[in-house]
Structure 1
Amino acid sequence: MRTLTWAMNVSLDGYTAAPGDDLGWSVPSDELFAWWSERVAATGAALYGRRLWQTMNAHWPTADQQPGATPAHVAYAHRWRAMPKVVFSSTLGAVDGNARLVTGDAVAEITRLKAEDGGPLDVGGATLAAAAQRAGLVDEYVVVTHPVLVGGGTPFFASLDRWVVLDLVETRTFDGGIVMTRYRTRR
Structure 2
Amino acid sequence: MRKIILLMHVSLDGFVTGPNGEMDWIIHTEEEQNYVTDLLNTVDTVLFGCVTYQMMESFWPTVPAHPFWSKSKYHAEHAVWIEKTENCS
Greater radius of gyration (CA): 1
Higher RCO (CA-CA < 8 Å; seq separation 6+): 1
Using the TM superposition, give the Cα deviation of residue 75 of structure 1 relative to its aligned residue in structure 2, in angstroms. 1.1
Q: Please, what TM-score do these two structures have when normalized by structure 2?
A: 0.81
Aligned-partner Cα distance in 2 for 1:33–1:64: 18
Q: Choose between structure 1 and 2: higher strand proportion.
A: 1
Number of residues paired by the alignment? 87
- Note if 1:32 corresponds to 2:46: no
Residue identity in the other structure for 1:41:
N
Q: RMSD value over aligned CA atoms?
A: 1.6
Aligned-partner Cα distance in 2 for 1:66–1:82: 19
Q: Which runs of 5+ in 2 are unaligned?
A: none
Using the TM superposition, give the Cα deviation of residue 40 of structure 1 relative to its aligned residue in structure 2, in angstroms. 2.3
The corresponding residue for 1:140 is none
Q: How does 1:13-92 map to 2 (within 5 A)?
A: 13-68=13-68, 69=70, 70-87=72-89
Using the TM superposition, give the Cα deviation of residue 47 of structure 1 relative to its aligned residue in structure 2, in angstroms. 1.0
Using the TM superposition, give the Cα deviation of residue 62 of structure 1 relative to its aligned residue in structure 2, in angstroms. 2.4
Residues 58-95 of structure 1 deviation map (CA, whole Å, 9 limit, x = unaligned): 111121221132222211111111111112xxxxxxxx
Q: Which runs of 5+ in 1 are unaligned?
A: 88-187
Instruction: Find the residue that maps to 2:2 and give its secondary structure.
Output: coil
Displaced runs of 4 or more, over 4 A: none
